[in-house]
Structure 1
Amino acid sequence: MNVRRLIPTAALATAAALGAAALTGCSGTASAGTTKDGRLSVMASFYPMQFLAEQIGKDHVKVDSLTKPGVEPHDLEITPQQTARLGEAGLVVYLKSLQPAVDKAIAQTPAKNIVDAATLTKLEVHGDSGHDHAEGEADHDHDHGGTDPHVWLDPVKYTEIAKGVGAAMEKADPDHAADYKKNTDDLVAKLGALDTEFKDGLKNTASKTFITTHSAFGYLAARYGLDQEGISGVDPESEPTPARMKQLQDVAKKDNVTTVFFEALASDKTAKTLARDTGLKTDVLDPLEGITDTSQGADYFAIMRSNLKNLQKALGNK
């Protein structure tokens, strides 16, 4: 015989509350955008945004990146699970126009605190030292609306973004605002020192022109008085035309170029072909879109200093 027992309304309410708490605990991220241990949950789009969040947030945050190490950020595909996690984050930090898949996912997310790094500094259009591109060549502006998104490679512009991310963390987690402010100030000071190192280190070089597979260094070149010549434009996987390769051979002779740079996350085939045809050396210039075991450093500062050293060697530092 079935016996139905009446349970008081208050008991039902208590049970429901306990059940909801248990579900929240199991999910790992509370609805308020914090982790089980109370840290601010931050979702970054790719390494440069992740690095800022980690440096500014330190122990008060848990930072995850949508772009895993070794993945070329431009080609990122986002899973439905990642889109869902965006909505649970206490803070989302990304750079609009760099990764179309990220832009689409963020447009669908209910996340309350979203920071677009592109709004924290001025994006610019960068070409390749005024040389004409060959007819039919892929547009060197790729899909970024005509502007160059690689602002993190300029320590001064990266500083502006760092300040904006710091302010966003203070707003998202006001209980730790003083710590975020201090950490931001510390990071800004380190970036200022890096800017000085680049300024002094590239002031007196035999050549001002460098050739790279990936036109990611427009801001860096503009900041320190250099001329960037990109083989493939801002898309590291696009193929240059024979006319462009011939043009670069002429540039190499005219401007005393010694080295063709390639990057760790993309194929070095085109760089080696050009180097072989022109008798040049090859070396790494890292656009810092991601870090792997083969990177020339463990973090942003180490790799930027490695880039500086490689540029000095290639340009003939006096």
Structure 2
Amino acid sequence: MKQKQTTLLAIIVTVVLILAGCGTTNEATTNSKLKVVTTFYPMYDFTKQVVGAKGEVSLLIEAGVEPHDYEPSAKDIATITEADVFVYNSAYFETWVPKVIENIDTTKTTVIDASKGITLKDFTAAEEAAHSHEHADEEAHDHEDGETHDHKAETDADKNPHVWLDPVLAQQQVKTIAEGIAQHDEKNATTYQENAETYQQKLAILDQQYTDAFAHVSQKTFVTSHAAFGYLANRYGIKQLPIAGLSPDAEPSPKEMAKIKTFVKANKINIIYFEALTSPKLAETLATETGAKTVELSPLEGLSEEQQASDLDYIKVMENNLTALQKSIK
């Protein structure tokens, strides 16, 4: 972990020096369309809906890349530095962002934390159990490398950042993004606000679809490979039981896996959910041992190029997620 931080700092220093030597200036707002850089897919889609035809919105983390594993390259940092606006979800998700924005000119590049104003939640008991094991793995790895790991300091800072999966909180993120962009480009502020309101209405319809679907259900628990759906579950009165923690690469201990297996059998849960960007191994193993089957449930952390080319977007994927969840929550 320390090695990653050192590498990132070295990249930032290099980029800053290169840009300073080139005398880079940002005249995009006056000479061309607004240039907006976003981190991963939901931020990209929300921002694109707000900006409309008034700017160019780009995606920093490429299609198919797991955002939890991403570290920015020198080219990525230069792209952020040269943008008019930079949009990210939260420092608890894009953990590399605080170090980057410390070293860019925020009078030139407007930085928007889309989760600003949203109270991020601590883990639920099930998430905490999976996450504790995840930290134990990290700690053991750091010790093998001869590095120290301040587990307490990291745990104190841990919050669940997956707010975009709650359609109501997604509306708040869209509002925050629109306000930040409007502040940067005041002459088009009305357009940004109108675009945001139009999209928020679509998100409100999505929220109503979820509300109606789960208004009267008896089996409320769904089992997923990744603890990403806490906000969504809390919003609609259902419960997620994650196999892993907030990082989809984490693995539960044998004891934790046995508890989940027992729960699945006792409650006759017939679906184990997996996600496309990470290995389905855990979900498949649990399904095989319990007689369940696997179904994809997208945390929307990234869409493949093929998915985007087929006109999938945030709302369509969330509608697909609703259909998938209704297979086990009845």
TM-score band w.r.t. shorter chain: 0.7 to 0.9
Measure, in 2, the Cα distance between the counterparts of 1:99 and 1:304. Answer: 22
Give the conservation status (yes or no) of the 8 Å contact 1:87–1:110: yes
Is residue 304 from structure 1 mapped to residue 323 from structure 2 by the alignment?
no
Of 129, 133, 136, 2:129 maps to 133
Give the conservation status (yes or no) of the 8 Å contact 2:92–2:158: no
Report how far residue 35 of structure 1 moved.
8.3
Give the conservation status (yes or no) of the 8 Å contact 1:97–1:103: no
Aligned partner of 2:79 in structure 1 is: 85
Distance 1:136 1:184, change over 3 A: closer
Q: Which runs of 5+ in 2 are unaligned?
A: 1-21, 139-153
Distance 1:59 1:52, change over 3 A: same
Of 112, 116, 122, 1:115 maps to 112
Report how far residue 135 of structure 1 moved.
11
Measure, in 1, the Cα distance between the counterparts of 2:326 and 2:198. Answer: 27
Measure, in 2, the Cα distance between the counterparts of 1:192 and 1:135. Answer: 32
Of 20, 31, 43, 2:26 maps to 31
Aligned partner of 1:16 in structure 2 is: none
Of 251, 257, 266, 1:239 maps to 251
Larger radius of gyration: 1
Give the conservation status (yes or no) of the 8 Å contact 1:208–1:227: yes
Report how far residue 178 of structure 1 moved.
1.2
- TM-score using structure 1 length: 0.83
Q: Deviations over 1:257-307 (max 9, x none)?
A: 211100010000110000001111110110001111258971000000000
One-letter code of the match for 1:47?
Y
One-letter code of the match for 1:138?
E
Report how far residue 33 of structure 1 moved.
4.1
RMSD: 2.4
Report how far residue 175 of structure 1 moved.
1.2
Is residue 228 from structure 1 mapped to residue 222 from structure 2 by the alignment?
no
Aligned partner of 1:67 in structure 2 is: 61
Q: Which has the higher contact order (CA 8 A, sep 6+)?
A: 2
Measure, in 1, the Cα distance between the counterparts of 2:121 and 2:327. Answer: 28
Give the conservation status (yes or no) of the 8 Å contact 1:83–1:109: no
Give the conservation status (yes or no) of the 8 Å contact 1:258–1:315: no
Give the conservation status (yes or no) of the 8 Å contact 2:271–2:328: yes
Q: How does 1:96-245 map to 2 (within 5 A)?
A: 96-112=91-107, 113-128=110-125, 133=129, 137-139=133-135, 145-245=157-257
Measure, in 2, the Cα distance between the counterparts of 1:35 and 1:232. Answer: 47
One-letter code of the match for 1:55?
Q
Report the 3-state secondary structure (helix = DSSP H, G, I; strand = E; otherwise coil) of the residue aligned with 2:159: coil
Report how far residue 315 of structure 1 moved.
1.6
Is residue 252 from structure 1 mapped to residue 264 from structure 2 by the alignment?
yes
Report the 3-state secondary structure (helix = DSSP H, G, I; strand = E; otherwise coil) of the residue aligned with 2:245: coil
Report how far residue 77 of structure 1 moved.
1.8
One-letter code of the match for 1:256?
K
Measure, in 2, the Cα distance between the counterparts of 1:104 and 1:66. Answer: 16
Aligned partner of 1:11 in structure 2 is: none
Between 245-254 and 271-280, report the one with greater CA deviation.
Answer: 245-254
Q: Deviations over 1:99-133 (max 9, x none)?
A: 22333222322233111122132211132558x83
Report the 3-state secondary structure (helix = DSSP H, G, I; strand = E; otherwise coil) of the residue aligned with 2:233: helix
Q: Which runs of 5+ in 1 are unaligned?
A: 1-26
- TM-score using structure 2 length: 0.81
